[in-house]
Structure 1
Amino acid sequence: MEINVGAVISKYRKQKGITQQALADFIGISKASVSKWETGQSYPDITLLPILAAYFDVSIDKLMAYNAQLSAAEIRRVYTSMKHAFETQPAETVLTSIHNLIRRYYACYPFLLQMGLLLLNHYDLLPGDSLETKKKTYVTEALQLFVRVRQSGRDLQLTAKAVELEGYSLLLLNRPDDVLALLGEYVPEQLPADSLIAGAFQQKGDLQRAIATSQSGLMQDLSLIMSQLTNYMTLLGKDPERLKTTYQRGQAIAEAFDLVNLNPAVWANFQLAALKGFAQQHQTESVTTTLQLFVRVMATTKFTWELHGDRYFDAIEPWLNQLDLGPQTPRVTGHVKQTLIEFVLNNPALKELRKEQPIEQLLKELEQIKARE
């Protein structure tokens, strides 16, 4: 944490129109001590801070140029900086920076929420002996941040996000009873706020804002239903027909909205879940069809790993820009294609089918694509 108290003392002293000697006489120290403060050679003794603050009629935090709260734009900049740091700095250095920032802004609840999200999305890149150890360590740390936000935050939307992320963290830590105790056993009824906001803009005669609001709601609903279908497929290991039907319906939605270009992360998770399920059930034909699509997209599509609209969702930019992290994705996006390809190549169920044609050839093509990335 950088302390700029000397520069602040110099500023307030000059505003007050007094000399270094006059300030020194009031405090009861030497002029040389004041000079060293203002040039950054030394800092005032902690016992002098209340006296200096009272003399200049400011708070101690203001005297030390410290603000416990960050703006939304500052939080976004810090998150972006930390995300990029994973690609340029040692993991130990990044972790130290994260911990220092958390301590410094421990009373800034929106910031704590984003630091918890940062830990959730990158625990595999942080120091640790094994992936399981990393998950337990850093997801637990993120969980503690979410609990603090839930218990101490006063903003209802913020605490609602904290509850959801707390539940997700508990699930990652294999604590199902705690998830149910936190969230309940049934999905709560929801009144879609986007429809209400759009209706309000329509009543005001602002049709463009109404359209933009509806588009942002549709965009979120699209990502949500595809994520729900992805999760649902993981539950259908003993129901091949329902798995196949679920994939077909989800794929129809993905094609209708050009999801591979609109939101490649959601598209990829959906395809990988289907591929894993089909492989575990030894549905060779479905594995081949899904793998062919995956290979073709990996070979021909240049993904944009930021949230964005398209010709259909052409009014959502203001909504994207006001998100906590703006249009950026929460996860480091470097080498994403390689990570997706490795997931397929290292899938044990697919290894069992590797000798099947044309699965063997498709996996070889994936290896070649990975080598080019």
Structure 2
Amino acid sequence: MPNTRTANAVRLEFAPGSLVQSNLSGAAFTGDWLWVAGDEACGLDRLRLLPPVGHETLRFGEVRDFPLSELLELPGEPDEEADLEGMAVADGWLWVVGSHGLKRKNAKPERNHADNARRLAKVSLDGNRRLLACLPIEADASGAPCLVRQAQDGRRALRLRGDAQDNQLTRLLADDPHFGPYMAIPGKDNGFDIEGLAVDGRRLLLGLRGPVLRGWSALLEVAIETRSDHLRLAPLDDSGTLLRKHFLQLDGLGVRDLHFSGDDLYILAGPTMVLNGDIRVFKWPGARALLAASREPVRFESALSESVPLPHGRGTNRAEALCDLPPALAGRKASWLVLYDAPGADRKEGEHTVFGDLLRHD
């Protein structure tokens, strides 16, 4: 497990008007190029490695936007929030997933009681939140990785078939005895909320921030295949199973991000609801092989390695993205990059620069 955290070791420089600014929710690398997602945008940003300018270990900047509307036929409006909460690079693709969850309006201190009562009763679904997609990565003339609608080798950007209201995954879960009742509850109310993605071949693991059921957090395992101009769920085995559910004991916390490192699965976990509480990294040893061999439709896993805590503030500095540094950047000691949603003043410089941490691990 991780043993050393270096705070503010990674400097990320965004630009005025860039799609992602500070509320970071996903990260992945292609070589020494960094992809980041934000939960308030409908697109991704790419940053390149630059020489350090201060005390930081790594610096990334020269940001370029990749709006999803230029890559996919979106179910919602082009600028409608996708609430991207998970991403992973695998086999030349960048996979992304939206929260799939509903949202509830919050009370505001400047509003009167009647207005706030009406606001708190209003639940809605942004049209692009129920998005699961794979985007081809292709080098441009300068060698920089880019996201493209169609690559020269024929690969195309695709998403799970669906519309602004549902897709194949949400329809599958609608009658599920564990998650069906939570599909109509907003994510921040312990409702259904995807906040982690890990890829192993054609199988995907989707980590749920909520619901947490009697202290058990959940991973959904699905398989994906291509059909013409879209993705669809595929059987996980010869019996036609479309979904496996893995319940994890994370001390009552929900999943915030997932990451395979070798055969082990690392889980970034935090509060399900709007709380200033523990944020930790858990390790599931040997998870990759165990998941590949498992045929159980539902299983429970409590043998996770002791967790490592991460800092958090009051309404700020919530760790939401975890990914391995490429060996060329990590040096002789393997390290993770940890990025934060709602960075506090101690993690910002000016309007467009934020800082993440490096976390050494065995």
Fold match, TM over 0.5? Answer: no
**Greater helix fraction, Structure 1 or Structure 2:** 1
**Greater strand fraction, Structure 1 or Structure 2:** 2
Q: Which one has more relative contact order, counting CA pairs under 8 Å at least 6 apart?
A: 2
The bucket for the TM-score relative to the shorter chain is: under 0.3
Q: TM-score, normalised by structure 2?
A: 0.23
